Structure formats: C-alpha cells, structure tokens
Amino acid sequence: MAFGSLAHAQDVVVEAFLDSTEISLGESTRISIRISSSTEADISIPHIPDVTVRHAGVSRSTSIINGSVSTRNTHSYLLTPEKPGTHTIPPFTVSIKRKEYTTQALTLNVLPSSQRKDPELEGIAFIQVGMEKNTLYVGEKSRVRIKLFTLMTARIEQIRSIPEIANDAVMLNPLGNSPQQSTAEIGGKRYQVFSWETTLTALKRGPTNLEAIAEIDVLTPTQRRTQGFPQSLFDDDFFGASYTRTPLRVFSNTIELDIRPIPPAPEGKSFSGAIGKFGFEVDASPTELTAGDPITLTLKVTGTGNFDRVFHDGMKASDGWKIYAPQSSYTPSERMPLSGEKVFRQAIIPTDPRISTIPSLSFTYFDPDKQDFVTIDNKPVSIVVKAAPGQASADSTATSDTETEDAATGLDPSTRLVDLAVALDRAHSSFKPVAYSVWFWLLMLVPVVVIPVATYVPPAIIERIRRPDNRQKKTLLHLEKEMDKALQAKNKTAYLEAASAYSCQILAEKWKVSPLSITTADIKFRCGTRYPGILTLFTNREVLHYAGMPDRDLDMNALHQGLQSEWQSLQSN
C-alpha cells in the first residue's frame, strides 16, 4: 500500500493511497483520497497517461473515541492501466473553502500477467458481507450483516477504520464503534470476528457491485540480524524482535446487486413511496357527539419496510366537515430492524348533523416480493352527530311562525318586506342620539383614567422582560433538564432532539439568526471541523429523521461530554 501525505492546515488532513502499488496488466487498483474534514471538497483529477480513471464512489464515516469526534470523507477512483511498466500517478488537487491541498505523486508498477505476485500479508484479515436478497427497488431498505475477520496469531496493532461501502448507488447506515465480538475457526485457523448489523437503502437504479473495505495496522517482524557477528550488541535477537507497522487494506466479497425502478402507481391511488409489508387500521373516537365537536381519527400503519417514506394525508376536506392536518409519530421495534409502527392522528369536526359516517380511507404500498402494489381499504366508520342546541329548533320555529301568519292574512310573503320597512321607520322616529346621554360621557372618561394606571409597569421590570438573555436562559435550562432526563432514561431519540435544540439556541445567539433557521449545512459551512461533536449530533439526528430510528451504537454519554466542552467554547468566544 502506498501513501501520499498531503498538507495539514488547521484541522484539515488529506491523504492519498493506493490499494496496491503492483498489479498485473488487465487488473485494476483503487486510489483513495481521504479527507479528514466535514466540509465539502472539490477534487481535480489529473491526466494519467495510459491509465483509465473511473470514479468509484464517496463514503463518509464519523467516529467518537474517548469523547473526541472525527469526520472523514473518502473519494475512491478505479485505475486501469493499458500498458505494463512503471506509471507515475500525478498529484491530486483538493479544494476546501478556497484553499488548495496537493497530494504527492505515487508510483504504480504494472507487470505482465505472467509475472503476478502474491501479496505478503494474504490471509491475515478479510471481510464478509451478507444481505437478505440481491434484488432491491429504489427506496427499498434491506438488512446487512458485515463481519471483519482478523487472524488471532497475527499481530494486529489497531483497526484504523471500520468497514465502509463506497458506492453512491446505495446508502449504508452508520455501523458504530461497538461491534459484537466473537471467535471462529476457518480452515484450521482461529479468527477474531467483529460483527455489525445495519440497514442499506437503494438509491439509484441499475446493476451495481458492493464491496466493503477496512483498514488495519499489522506489526510484521523486521530482520535485524546480519551475517556473521552483529554490528551492535542490541542488534541480536536476544534483546527481542523488532516489528514494523504495516498498513493493510482489507476487502470483502463482492455482492452483485440489482436495483430496479418502482413501476408507476395505479391510477387513482395515493402512493407515498412505502416499500415492504404493512398493515393498515383506522379508528375514530368519539363516535357519538354534537355537531361542532372534534373527533380524533387514528390511522395506524404497522409492518416491516422503509417507514421513512410512509405518509398519509388522512381524511380529505368535504362538505359538512372541518379538517386539520394529521400529526405522525413512529415507534421502532426493539427486536426487528426495519419493523415498527407509525401512527397518524387527525382532528376532524362534523358541522352537519345529517352526517352519519366517516368515509373509507385506504393505504397503498409496494410489495417487493409480489412485485406489485397492495391497497388496503378500511370500512367507513359509523358515527352519530346530534344537532347543536338551537341549530335545528330555531330554524323550524321561525319557519312555522311565518307560514302561520301568512296563511291567516292571505298575503303574499314578498309583501312582508313593506311591513319590515315601516317597522324600521317607526323605530327611527323614536331614536335619541347616545351623545345626549350623561352616562355616555362618564363611560368615555373611564378608559382615559383606568388604562394608564392599569398598564403602568416599573421601568426595571420592563427592562428585565425585554432582555432576550432571560428568555434564552429559561429555554437552555429547560433543554438541559430534557437532556438529563433522556440520558437517565437512555432515550436516544429524546436526547438527540433536546441536544440539537440546545445547540441551535447557542449558535443562533452567536450568529444572530433564528434557531429554527439553522441546518446541518450551515454548521458544516460555518464551523467546519472546529466543533465535531455538534456536527456528529446533527448527522445522527438526520439519520434518525431519515431512518426513523437512532443509531443503536451511539454512545450518548461520550457524545454529551464532547458537546459540553464545545458549548462552553461557543459561549465564551
């Protein structure tokens, strides 16, 4: 493996390395540009004579070690030489925030196919990737198991990076830094096994190959004895063997994945993008009420699939109803990944006492096993709506009185407009202006005297009320209590929401913006890698919102310790 170290500027570290510095003609090797920065970077690919360069994807990893948070982006390119010989890989140029970083040139030796050499460290480590199925639809989620095997008799100094899948056709949920550990015997050799279980989302249609890559450091013995007598007393093996740290990239088996597009949804069906196997239930309460009273309509979707794309608009607006937008909540299953329950609650108000049912509602999803859409229709819900007091009786009484009077006089109903005009004229003749009354002027004086007295507030109190610091302090104290509760209850979802809101309050005060306007992109642009804990917090919150469940391996206590120091730094500057 060859490394080309770049510049160190502030917290930005850039490295370039080849998977193999020696390959045979007809084979390919991967060059990776690893950028230890959360800021987006632009990479200029140099022209390499007699070598074809193809982009192989981008991967992102975030790690928390002893409270220290680091973010790393790796851009991979596949190099395919066209001629044997020694090829020079020119420097790559990386631009970050208008600053340029240049890698060192690397050397690639291409042998004729008959001179292929075996790697020295073959068999020390390997990766196995397993998926439930090899055919997915765009937007579909699938469970993935990744295992890293390391030979127990080998001297493995450290695992530099956990397995990553660099492929922009899929999105792999973060693996975390707490894998399950076990041992296994393969081919008469004992291996230490590190296992991760996560989910993968298909993003782009078409066939693609998945391959996981990890990095480890292996200690290999260094031959220090010379022929004859040792040049120095300490060169003798009696004083212990000497070892050299050798970086090693570990590759997994290749999985051929076919990502298919979802066919058009049936005409007239509302499809939100839900893929999997789901159930749908509808409930309403109460079912006996008075016109104008609210009903809570509950729509429950259960099953297994991509709950991040499960949506429902609820009941549509129609005559005789007042409708409000539904609110949703998701509860993931603790035992089965991708399984859970999503509930939509909607407030609906019947305004017409003649309404007797809530219309039928349906939910449409795509079943990848059946390769077809499934629509679940529920039956209409029967309700009893009583007329509001005076709503029906007043109308009927007024109508009956008018009809009786018209029948007795034998007059055309239209002539009653004349009687109404006469009555109004008589009322006008007896009218006396209010301004002539003494009580009118006394009442007018009441606001003039009472309002200034009632609204007087001491200036000191007004000043305290107007100070935004007091409101922010109350908000921060409330969020601190919420974070403490979440840490005690080990509720990752509640902690991520409270800690994100706390960070937004502090950043809003520093940047002089509204807390609601702050996004992850703003933090990446303004903070860079100065506050890695806050960036990790918002990244995990995005995972929560997208996947519907937090990272199971997230260490809340370690993250909280790192965040506290960053919050103090922001408030002190």
Q: What are the residues whose beta carbons fall under 8 Å from the beta carbon of 566, sequence distance 6 or more?
A: 531, 533, 534
Q: Residues 354-361: what's their mean pLDDT?
A: 94
Q: What does the block give as tokens for 230? A: 């040792």
Q: What does the block give as tokens for 97? A: 């925030």
β-partners of residue 186 are 189
pLDDT digits (tens, 9 = 90+) for 242-259: 667 777 878 888 899 999
Cα–Cα distance, 284 to 359 (Å, whole number): 11
Q: Name which of 232, 1, 252, 241 is nearest 106 in CA terms.
A: 1
Q: Which of 213-222, 294-303, 379-388, 404-413 has the lowest mean pLDDT?
A: 404-413
Amino acid at 248: L
Q: What does the block give as tokens for 260? A: 């298919």
Name the residue with tokens 């507030």. 457
More confident residue, 497 or 425: 497
Cα–Cα distance, 322 to 352 (Å, whole number): 10
More confident residue, 573 or 530: 530
Cα–Cα distance, 431 to 415 (Å, whole number): 26
Q: Residues 539-567: what's their mean pLDDT?
A: 76
pLDDT at 232: 44
More confident residue, 199 or 242: 199
Instruction: Name the pLDDT band for 540 (thresholds 50, 70, 90).
Output: confident
CA quadruple 221, 224, 226, 230: dihedral positive or negative?
negative
pLDDT exceeds 90 at position 375: yes
Q: Domain 125-224+240-259 belongs to what topology?
A: Immunoglobulin-like (2.60.40)
pLDDT at 418: 35
Q: CB atoms < 10 A from the CB of 146, how many?
A: 24
Residue 66 backbone class (left: φ over 0; alpha: ψ -120 to 50; beta: rest): left
pLDDT at 67: 64
Q: What does the block give as tokens for 98? A: 């208008």
Measured CA distances, 282 to 319, 367, 427, 526 (Å): 21, 21, 58, 46
Q: Domain 270-386 belongs to what topology?
A: Immunoglobulin-like (2.60.40)
pLDDT at 547: 56
pLDDT exceeds 60 at position 270: yes
Q: What does the block give as tokens for 277? A: 């196997």
Instruction: Name the pLDDT band for 460 (thresholds 50, 70, 90).
Output: low
Q: How many residues does the chain have?
A: 573
Q: Mean pLDDT, the chain, as a whole number?
A: 80
Cα–Cα distance, 358 to 354 (Å, whole number): 12
Cα–Cα distance, 140 to 475 (Å, whole number): 39
pLDDT digits (tens, 9 = 90+) for 125-183: 899 999 989 999 999 999 999 999 998 888 888 888 889 887 888 988 888 778 899 99
Cα–Cα distance, 164 to 214 (Å, whole number): 6
pLDDT at 113: 56
pLDDT exceeds 80 at position 344: yes
Residue 400 backbone class (left: φ over 0; alpha: ψ -120 to 50; beta: rest): alpha
More confident residue, 264 or 5: 264
Q: Domain 2-115 belongs to what topology?
A: Immunoglobulin-like (2.60.40)
Cα–Cα distance, 529 to 539 (Å, whole number): 13
pLDDT digits (tens, 9 = 90+) for 329-342: 999 988 787 899 99
Burial 165-195 (b: 16+ CB within 10 A, else e): bbbebbbbbbbbbebeeeeeeeeeeebbbbe
Q: Name which of 520, 140, 194, 150 is nearest 366 in CA terms.
A: 140
pLDDT digits (tens, 9 = 90+) for 490-529: 888 888 889 999 999 888 888 888 887 787 777 877 776 7
Q: What is the C-alpha R_g of the chain?
A: 36
pLDDT at 444: 81
Cα–Cα distance, 161 to 190 (Å, whole number): 22
- Phi, psi for residue 51 in degrees, rounded to 5: -135, 130
Instruction: Name the pLDDT band for 449 (thresholds 50, 70, 90).
Output: confident
| Secondary structure element (H or E) that encloses residue 404, with its range | helix 393-409
pLDDT at 469: 63
Contact (Cβ atoms closer than 8 angstroms) between residue 284 and residue 296: yes
pLDDT above 70 as % of the chain: 78
Domain extents for the chain? 2-115, 125-224+240-259, 270-386, 464-572
Contact (Cβ atoms closer than 8 angstroms) between residue 3 and residue 17: yes
In the chain, helix, strand, coil percent, each to 5?
Answer: 30, 40, 30
More confident residue, 415 or 535: 535
More confident residue, 467 or 570: 570
Give the three-class secondary structure for 267: coil
Give the three-class secondary structure for 45: coil
Q: Residues 549-568: what's their mean pLDDT?
A: 80
pLDDT digits (tens, 9 = 90+) for 14-41: 888 898 888 877 677 889 888 887 777 8
Cα–Cα distance, 308 to 305 (Å, whole number): 9
pLDDT exceeds 50 at position 419: no
pLDDT exceeds 80 at position 292: yes
Cα–Cα distance, 548 to 542 (Å, whole number): 9
More confident residue, 338 or 453: 338
